[in-house]
Amino acid sequence: MQNKTLKSCLFIFIAFLLVLGSFGMGAVTGYLVPKDLFGGLLGTSATPTPEPCTPVVVTEEGECPACICNFEGSSPKELETLFEPFWEVWGLVHQNYVDQPLDTTAMMRGAIKGMLESLGDKHTSYMDPEEYKQANESLEGEYEGIGAWVDITGDFVEVVSPMKGSPAEAAGLRPKDRVIGINGEDMTGIPGDLVLQRILGPAGEAVVLTIQRGEEVFDVSITRAKIVVPTVDYEMLEDNVAYVALYTFNEFSTPQLRNALDELLAQNPKGLILDLRDNGGGYLVTAIEVASEFIAEGVVMYEEYGDGTRDSYEAKAGGRATEIPLVVLVNEGTASASEIVAGAIQDRGRGTLVGVVTYGKGTVQNWIPLSNEQGGVRITIARWLTPNGNQISEIGLTPEHIVEYTEEDFEAEIDPQLDKAVELILEGAE
Give me the active site residues, please.
Answer: 336, 347, 361
d(Cα 249, Cα 293) in Å, to the nearest integer?
14
Partnered with residue 213 across adjacent β-strands are 216
Half-sphere exposure of 180 (CA within 13 A, CB side): 13
What is the rounded end-to-end Cα distance, in angstroms, of the chain? 86
Contact 278, 176 (CB under 8 A): no
Contact 277, 404 (CB under 8 A): no
In Å, how far are 56, 209, 271, 335, 414 from 159, measured between CA atoms? 46, 12, 32, 11, 23
Name the nearest CA neighbour of 343 among 379, 295, 305, 382: 295
d(Cα 201, Cα 70) in Å, to the nearest integer?
43
Name the nearest CA neighbour of 262 among 239, 288, 238, 242: 242
Which residues, 6 or more positions from 306, have their beta carbon under 8 angstroms from its beta carbon?
382
Q: Residue 299, SS3?
A: strand
In Å, how far are 169, 395, 404, 430 from 409, measured between CA atoms? 15, 26, 9, 28
In Å, how far are 239, 271, 354, 423 from 265, measured between CA atoms? 14, 9, 22, 19
d(Cα 322, Cα 77) in Å, to the nearest integer?
58
Q: Residue 115, SS3?
A: helix
